[in-house]
Amino acid sequence: MERSLKNVLVVSFGFLLLFTAYGGLQSLQSSLYSEEGLGVTALSTLYGGMLLSSMFLPPLLIKKFGCKWTIVISMCCYVAFSLGNFYASWYTLIPTSILLGLGAAPLWSAQCTYLTIMGNTQAEKVGKVGRDVVNQYFGIFFLIFQSSGVWGNLISSLVFGQTPTQEAIPEEQLLSCGASDCLMATASTNSTQRPSQTLIYTLLGIYTGSGVLAVLLVAVFLEPIKDAQQKSEGEKELPFWSTLLSTFRLLRDRRLRLLVLLPLYSGFEQAFLAGDYTRSSGVWGNLISSLVFGQTPTQVLYGVLFEKNKEAAFASYRLWEALGFVIAFGYSTFLCVNIKLHILLGVLGLAMLAYGTVEYLEAKTLARPVATEQTKPADGAETETAM
């Protein structure tokens, strides 16, 4: 197996193990810790921390520790959240949720940066187009990663399924399903009982073990990688504040300002899938599309358009995606599903228009050097004739 593909698989299976644990825990927060809204508050705090982290941390950590060790450190934040669930209270879940949120943005920024550098390096080695190899690597990653939702929920189902507690759902509750579902309109009539503490500890032990395995896999087997472009530029040392604010400085680029709607929509969509849509069907749809066409064009686009500022670009992606999560979770409890669908369609339509504008601007930019090159020989021919 070639070296670059081996590293892609290590990252992919590391994230699979990590998010098998985190995805399962995330889906159980509101049901296991419903007292005084602890579970929902923990999730809101988590994405608030991710929003804050996206503004500053990714470029700093990636520059200081490199992609590999940024991934390892950030994964440890996820393991801490699993440990916090063993003794769930306001004093354990909220701090570990903040810690996870702070680690989430550097984790994803380092992963995207790593795959982009690895893809470009491999493309240069074999004489292929960089974006094609990068897209292939992202496709492999998301094909493996997206199945984490299946495994995480399967594990919780098998563990909690040992003591069936679900009663029949009344017919009147079925009348407000699908697009007609308005969470504030009907009180919950679900009589599902809380699983025993022994089963909860068993599940948490499995999830924590999965997270620890993810950390060990990446720490031991993932090879560090250096950006060849940074090497060629002589490792210019940027001032601390310049690195800290690089995510915001990149917003000067008109293309990035137009593209912010894509990650914003991603946050809206994922929050909708997690909170309102059947989780399993969403996971399998993502899994199949990852195999067919990457599920990843937007992230590849960020890596291609902002190649010289990859860390800041991917941090910006996570910033706007986290904002989408926060907004969507914010209105989730008082809007009907049909209204949420209209919001999703509206944001998607605007994002498509903005993306089309970026494609048009890029086509014009690429056409200028070609036109310049075509005029040069004609000018030279005129000079020769005059002589």
- At residue 8, the pLDDT reads 96
* C-alpha to C-alpha distance for 207 and 202, rounded to whole angstroms: 9
Structure tokens at 386: 């005059």
Question: Higher pLDDT residue, 322 or 215?
Answer: 215
Burial of 366 per CB tally in 10 Å (0-12, 13-18, 19+): exposed
In terms of Cα–Cα distance, which of 289, 223, 321 is closest to 11?
223
Would you place residue 266 in the very low, low, confident or very high pLDDT band (cuts 50, 70, 90)? confident
Q: Which stretch of DSSP H or E encloses residue 25?
A: helix 3-32
- Residue 186 pLDDT: 43
Q: For 162, which DSSP code? A: T
At position 95, the amino acid (one-letter code) is P
Alpha-carbon gap, residue 270 to 278, rounded angstroms: 12
Say which range, 101-110, 298-307, 337-346, has the weakest mean pLDDT: 298-307
**Confidence class for position 95, pLDDT limits 50, 70, 90:** very high
Whole-number mean pLDDT of the chain?
79
Side-chain-facing half-sphere of 105: CA atoms under 13 Å? 34
Q: Above 80 in pLDDT, residue 369?
A: no
Residue 227: pLDDT over 80: no
Question: Is pLDDT of 324 > 80?
Answer: yes
Angle of the 130-145 helix axis to the 279-293 helix axis, nearest 10: 150
- Whether the per-residue pLDDT at 98 is higher than 90: the answer is yes
The SS3 of residue 226 is coil
Q: What mean pLDDT comes out for the span 80-96?
A: 92
**Residue 334: per-residue pLDDT:** 77
First to last CA, the chain: 61
Report the C-alpha gap between 10 and 16 in whole angstroms. Answer: 10
Identify residue 158 by its one-letter amino acid code: L
pLDDT band of 84, cuts 50, 70, 90: very high
- pLDDT above 70 for 231: no
User: With DSSP H G I counted as helix, E B as strand and the rest as coil, what are the percentages for the chain, rounded to 5?
Assistant: 80, 0, 20
Residue 7: its pLDDT value, please? 95
How many Cβ atoms sit within 10 Å of the Cβ of residue 209? 14
Contact 43, 329 (CB under 8 A): yes
Asked whether residue 345 carries a pLDDT value surpassing 90, the answer given is yes
**Model-level pTM?**
0.76
d(CA 71, CA 214): 10
Give the count of beta carbons closer than 10 Å to the beta carbon of residue 36.
9
Q: In angstroms, what CA-CA distances link 38 with 31, 129, 144, 188, 357?
A: 10, 49, 32, 18, 43
Per cent of the chain over pLDDT 90 is 32
Mean pLDDT confidence for 55-65: 87
pLDDT value of residue 275: 59
List Cβ neighbours of 193 (8 Å cut-off, separation of 6 or more): 165
Amino acid at residue number 304: V
Q: Sign (positive/negative) of CA torsion 24, 27, 33, 38? A: positive
Provide the residue type at 341 as one letter.
L
Instruction: List the Cα angle 130/133/139 in 5-degree steps.
Output: 140
- Quick count: other Cβ atoms within 10 Å of Cβ 341? 14
Q: What number is the average pLDDT over the span 124-148? A: 89
Asked which of 99-108, 193-202, 211-220, 255-264 is least confident by mean pLDDT, the reply is: 193-202
Indicate if the pLDDT at residue 375 is higher than 90.
no
pLDDT at 178: 57
d(CA 185, CA 336): 9
In contact, 76 and 103? CB cutoff 8 Å: yes
What own/partner pairs with CB < 8 Å and gap ≥ 24 does 218-223 have?
Answer: 218/10, 218/11, 218/14, 218/68, 218/71, 218/72, 218/75, 219/72, 221/10, 222/7, 222/10, 222/11, 222/14, 222/68, 222/71, 223/3, 223/7, 223/68
